[in-house]
Structure 1
Amino acid sequence: MKFGPVPVTDAEGCILAHATDSAPEDLAPQQMSRMIPKGTVLTATHLADIAREGIDQLQVARLEDGDVAEDDAAQLLAQALSAGRTGLRATSPVGGRVNLVAEAAGLALLDAAAIHRVNSVSPAITVATVLPYKKMGAGGLVATIKIIPFAVAGPDLARACDAATAAIGMAQGQFTSATLIETRVGRDAPSDKGRRALAARVRHFGMMLTDRCVVPHEEASVADALAQAEGEVLFILTATATSDIRDTAPQAVRQAGGEVIHYGMPVDPGNLLFLGRLGDKPVIGLPGCARSPAINGADWVLERIICGVPIEPEDIMGMGVGGLLKEIPERGRPRE
C-alpha cells in the first residue's frame, strides 16, 4: 500500500486518509460544506466536489497488487480465529474492525500462544481479547480484530490467518441444576446469604438450585445429604471453615462413596476451597467467602466446572499469579 499526498486530479480510486470538506453542485449558498468521511474510495464526483472547495491536494492510500482492504482483512482474520468453534458471532466489518461477541453466557476460551503469533506477524494486524476463562454474558465482547492501516499485504494476512486458526471460542453451561448443602452448628439454620449468592452465580449460566438443604455439621449428615442430592453439581457450604483435607466436609464426600481431588488454592479470598467428585457429579466445597457476591477463588473453579472445562489440581495451583483479589470487608479474618 502506498500512502501520502497526491494532487486532487490524480486521486480517483484512492482511499481518503482524512475527512475532507467538499462543495457539491447542489449545495445552496447558505449551506455549509459537506464532509467526505475518512476511508471513502474517491470517485470523480468526490474529486470535483473537493476541488470546488478550493482544495488541490489530498492525503490518500493507494492499494497495490496483493493488498487486502481493511474490512476484508478483518473479516477473514475473524473467520480464522473462530473457525470450527461455537458460541461466537462476528459483527460486520467497519473501519477495519470486526468484533467477536458471545452468543450466550459462558467462558472465553483462548489460545494465548496463537494470538501472540498473530500479533507478531505485522503491526498492521491486531487482535485484542479478554482474559482467558473470563465469564461472559450473552452479547459480551470477547475479542476485537483491528486492521490499523487501510489495507495489509496479502502474504502477511495469510500468515496471520494460519496462526489464528481456532484460537478463540466459548464454553457454555453444561448443567441445569445444582444442590447446595449447608451445615449448621446448633439448632438454627444459617442465614440464606450464601444460598442467595450461589443462586446468582449459577443463574448466570442458566442453572437453578434445588430445594434448600441444611444439615448438622457432621460427617454422616453431610454424606447422607450428598447421596440424596438431586442436583447435577453439588456444593457444600459449611458453618465452620474446612481447615484440612480430612475435615468434616471432605470426609463426608469420601463417606458417601466419592473422592476428594484437591484441597486449597493460591487465590485470596478463596483459599479453603476443595474439589471432589461423587459418581459423575462434581462436588465443590465452598470457602466461607462464597457467601459474598464479590468474586473469589470459588468463582474461577465453579465457572469452569459448570461450563465443562477440565480443571485439574495443577490448574488450581497455577492460579496464584493474579489470584490476590479484592478483600471482602465482612470476612472474619481480614488480611491486615
Structure 2
Amino acid sequence: MIEKIRVEDAVGLPLLHDFTAIMEDGFKGVLFKRGHVVEEADIEALKNIGKDHIYVGELEADQVHEEDAISEIADMLFGENIKRSAVSEGKINLTSKVTGLFTIDRTLLRKINEIGDYTITCKKSYSKVEEGDRLVGARIVPLWTERWQVEKAKEILKEGPIFEVKEFKKLKVGCIITGDEVYYGRIKDAFRPVLREKLSEFDAEVLGYEFLPDDEDKVVEAYEKFKGQGADLVIFTGGMSVDPDDITPRAIRETHAEVIVQGIPMQPGNMLMVARDGGVYLMGVPGASIHSKITSFDFFLPRVFAGVDLKREDFLEMAEGGLL
C-alpha cells in the first residue's frame, strides 16, 4: 500500500522513485535514486526541491513501478544499430550506434502511445543520424501503472521492433547530365557540382559523369554502360519537365525499368522520377536541385543509400510537409 507522508516522517524509509533537482546553477538531474534510505540530513535537501511530502510503501501486485514498466519493454523497442541507456528518472534514451537512416514502424508507435500511460517520442522517420545521436525517449506518465498496460505493450511489440537504424551502404553511382545547351557549350553545366556535393555525404563510388545531348538513344546507351559497370544507382539530370523536348523521362522509360513514380507532391522537386531495374535505382532529378538547397531529391537519396525498398506510397505520403 502506498501512502503520502511528511518528509520529516520518512527518515529510515526507502524512496519509491528517483528525485530530480533543478538547481539555480542550471543543473538538472537525479538528486536521490530510487531505493535511497532517507536520512535526517536529506530532509532539508528534499524540502529545497519542493518535497514537503513523499510517497512510501509498496505497490500492489497489479501495479508496476515507472522504471520497471519501461525496463520490461526496453529491449523490445529497437532493432539493429541502436543501443539504450539505463533507466534514470523513470525514462530511457535510445541512441544510434552508426551513421545511417533512422526508421520507424509508425503503426506500432501509435499503438504503444494509445495504451494510456506509455509515452514514447522520437525523431522523424527517415532522418539521417550520426553515431551517438539521441533517437528516442521513452517513459510512462505516472509513478506506477497497471500490470495490464505493460502486458499490452509487450503484446504489441511481439509484432517487431519500432525503431531501427539502417547503416548507409557503399554504392556505385553513374551520373548522366543531358541537355543540348550544356552539351554544345551554350551554357555552363551547373548540375555536376550539385551532385558531387550531395554524393559526398555518402560512401559513393562515382563511376563517371556522362554529358549528352537531348537524344533518347544516347541516354539509354549511357545507362546501359553504367549498368554494365555494376551501378547500384544511376542519376539523370536535365529535361525532367513536361516540355516536348524534355526527353529524360522518356529515356528512363526506354530502359524498360519499372517506374515507381514520376512527379510527386513535394515542392521544390515536384518532377522527381524514380524507377527500378532489378537491383539498380534510376533517379531523374529536376532542375530545382540547382537553385534550391533542399528538394525532394534530398529526402530520397538517403533512402537509396540505406537500402530502403522504395514504393509509390512512400512518395505520396510526402504531401503533408512536402512544401519545403
Amino acid at match of 2:178: T
TM-score scaled by length of structure 2: 0.79
Q: Structure 2: how far apart are the matches of 1:115 and 1:277?
A: 30
Q: Confirm or deny: 8 A CA contact 1:277 1:283 kept in the other structure.
A: yes
Distance 1:121 1:258, change over 3 A: closer
1:133 equivalent in structure 2: 126
CA RMSD of aligned residues (A): 3.2
- What residue ranges of structure 2 are gaps of 5+ in the alignment? 22-28
Query: Structure 1, residues 90-146: CA drift from partner, whole Å, max 9, x if none?
Result: 1222212211222223322222222222122233x2100222222323333221112
- The aligned counterpart of 1:332 is none
The correspondence of residues 25-104 of structure 1 with structure 2, limited to 5 A, is 37-43=31-37, 46-50=38-42, 58-62=52-56, 63-66=58-61, 67-82=63-78, 85-104=79-98
Q: Which aligned pairs between 1:98-117 and structure 2 lie closer than 5 A? A: 98-117=92-111
Give 3-state SS (helix, strand or coil) of 2:208's partner. Answer: coil
The residue aligned with 1:181 is 176
CA distance in 1, matches of 2:46, 2:86: 36
Structure 1 residues 195 and 59: alpha-carbon distance in aligned structure 2, compared to 1, 3 A threshold: farther
Distance 1:189 1:237, change over 3 A: farther
Q: Can you list the C-alpha shifts for 1:38-83, whole angstroms capped at 9, x where unaligned? A: 545332xx4232468897x84223341344443343333321211x
C-alpha distance in 1 between matches for 2:86 and 2:100 = 22
Q: How many residues are treated as equivalent by the alignment?
A: 304
TM-score (norm 1): 0.77
Counterpart Cα distance in 2 of 1:40 and 1:320: 46
- Taking a change above 3 Å as real, the CA distance of residues 102 and 252 of structure 1, as seen in their structure-2 partners, is same
State the secondary structure of the residue aligned to 2:113: helix
SS of residue paired to 1:127 = strand
Does residue 4 (structure 1) correspond to residue 1 (structure 2)? The answer is no
Return closer, same or farther for 1:195/1:161 CA change in 2, 3 Å cut-off.
Answer: farther
- What corresponds to 2:14 in structure 1? 13
Contact 2:240–2:284 under 8 Å retained in 1: no
Q: Superposition pairs for residues 1-336 of structure 1, below 5 Å?
A: 2=2, 4-11=4-11, 12-15=13-16, 37-43=31-37, 46-50=38-42, 58-62=52-56, 63-66=58-61, 67-82=63-78, 85-123=79-117, 125-165=118-158, 166-186=161-181, 187-188=184-185, 193-229=190-226, 230=229, 231-238=231-238, 240-243=239-242, 247-292=246-291, 294-325=293-324
Displacement of 1:232 after TM fit? Answer: 1.4
**How many Å separate the matches in 1 of 2:244 and 2:41?**
78
% identical aligned pairs = 21
SS across alignment from 2:103: strand
| Conserved 8 A contact 1:265-1:271 | yes
1:245-266 CA-to-partner distances (Å, cap 9, x unmatched) read 9941122234445343421111
Q: Distance in 2 between matches of 1:261 and 1:36?
A: 51
Contact 2:171 2:305 in 1 (8 A): no
Q: Does the Cα contact within 8 Å between 2:285 and 2:297 map onto a contact in 1?
A: yes
Once the two structures are overlaid, the 10-residue window that deviates more, 201-210 or 188-197, is 188-197
Unpaired runs of 5+ in structure 1? 21-34, 326-336
Q: Distance in 1 between matches of 2:267 and 2:5?
A: 57
Greater Cα shift, 266-275 or 89-98? 89-98
SS state at 2:119 partner? strand
